[in-house]
Amino acid sequence: MDANVPGVSTSALPSGDSPYRAPVDEYMVALEVAGLTELLKLDCYRDIDTAAVRMVLEEFGRLASQVIAPTNRTGDIEGATYHAEDASVTLPASLRQAYARYVEGGWGALPFSPAFGGGGFPGSVGLAMQEIFASANLALSLNPVLTQGAIEALLQWGSDEQKAAFLPRLLTGEWTGTMNLTEPDAGSDLGAIRTAAHFDGEQWFVSGTKIFITWGEHDLSENIIHLVLARTPDAPAGTKGLSLFAVPKFIESSGESSPLRNALRCLRVEEKLGIHASPTCVMAFDGARGQLVGPLHGGMQVMFTMMNAARLSIGSEGPGVGERVLQAATAYARDRRQGRAETASAPVPSAIIEHPDVQRMLLRISTTTKASRMLSLTVKSYEDQARYASSDADRERGRNFADLLTPVAKAWATDIGFGAASEGVQVLGGVGYVEEFGMAQYLRDARIGPIYEGTNGIQALDLILRKIPRDQGRWLRELTDQMRAVIPEGYEPSHALAPSFRGLREAIDQVGAASEWMLEQLEQSRIDAVAGATPYLQLLAVTAGAYLMTRRALSTWSGDEAARQRAVGECNFFVAHVLSSAKGFAEAVTFGVARDAKIS
């Protein structure tokens, strides 16, 4: 850029990618709001305390800031390279080195059972680490996300032999995993899958083509374990006829000196808007040897285990992007001088962070990032309760709350991440629109979040068609009762959080009314219910976000005065600038299908 552009100080211009620092204090607060203290009382976590959690986040934060984050810009510019001569894919050396450091540290194993070499930490701590990784390098972070999804599927559905063969090296990251669902004619409609598997009496063989396979081929790990949905001969039509197979890139054999290359290959790597360092592959399976995972024709059950884990991880990318954007935009706004702020006393240009509208943008990024982070971590905590709580009632409650809120966390958090990136570009102005200065990459990278692992529209349909009606709406009502309980009875109008209490109560009432309307329409006019699915999810999301921001503010009441005032101010801002949209969402829910304004 021309250093002589009028009014632009070159010292205020960002250069390439911005530095990143993991906000460990914020993660500890968010984890506490999400129920960390209660989780650590469970027998399976009795050897872990909050000091250990902080130490883990601090150590991983250092790796993220010093080793992983510097690869972000390189990965975007150089990307993944496909070599047609041998169908291989290579990544820049800096990414290989960063991933090797991740493997050496054993970070991928941290939230899994010690029985397979894991660290035994709560899943919410593992999700916080995934967010930190996404902040540092979103494209690279997708590799462990898919691997950990494969681990979840094998833990729940794999045979003892499969667990012994695959899990130890998947946990370390020496091997990586993928999820192979989509085909050219089978995207969201998995019932149209044509990939076939046949059994010769001893071995399964898989043939077909899969598209949009994240990290389907690369040179970061020794082996890649593909989990592939396929149809067997004489299987029932639709999704009921699908089975899942573990198909390794290399097959280990006791009779061979080196692993055998399986009959699969990458046909090409897609050129994408963003996440350039994440190879999105077209994969061909040509009679590749595989192993059935889970029951025959039970592939959807197995795959949903993996998808639900991945959806929450993808949701965590939203606050991950938001945090990186916030740090970059705030640093720029402190240095960039333009115009005179309303409070300026000297006749010199003010730092743009002093202008109220820039403050508004930065606060919106900050508060929505914090709220969506707490939502994702809360859902993960419910998953831990569903697995490890001592009572049947607590496990049932954890499972149903996790199921209810997973689509909300995935959809809303990824929308938040993209919105934060767009706001970050606005803070930087023209500089933000120029690729050279890095902010544009965050915007491009974040756009995939609302699309993959089930589009956000599909998440909304899942919420209203499957999750809300469960047990005649019982779990949604219990959730709103829990939200309402955070509002003190008979609070004084002068209470510092009075605006938040009022706004939250009104939003909870709107959620309740919209939910009852939705349940009625599912019986009487399903098309009207479906038309309101997305605004319903947004209504529930902003209400849950305000509830968590209120809990966060109340958690500071007996602590440092400055921290309390900041948390209260952030909560009241969120209610005024974000939760205020709840009334509009509620009206959109009950509007129904646009019969007279239909586009044809």
- Residues with active-site annotation: 453
d(CA 424, CA 18): 12
> Left, alpha or beta for 472 (phi > 0: left; psi -120 to 50: alpha)?
left
d(CA 30, CA 556): 12
d(CA 549, CA 585): 20
Q: Where are the alpha helices (DSSP H) in 173-278?
A: none
Contact criterion met (CB below 8 Å) for 559 and 596: no
d(CA 81, CA 64): 24
The residue type found at 35 is G
Contact criterion met (CB below 8 Å) for 65 and 136: yes
Who's near 287: CB < 8 A, 6+ residues apart? Answer: 205, 206, 207, 263
- CB-based burial, 82-92: b 16+ in 10 Å, e otherwise: beeeebebbbb
> Left, alpha or beta for 212 (phi > 0: left; psi -120 to 50: alpha)?
left
Cα distances (angstroms) measured from residue 532 to each of 37, 514, 517, 539:
37, 10, 10, 11
What is residue 16's DSSP assignment? S
Cα distances (angstroms) measured from residue 232 to each of 152, 195, 203:
24, 9, 13
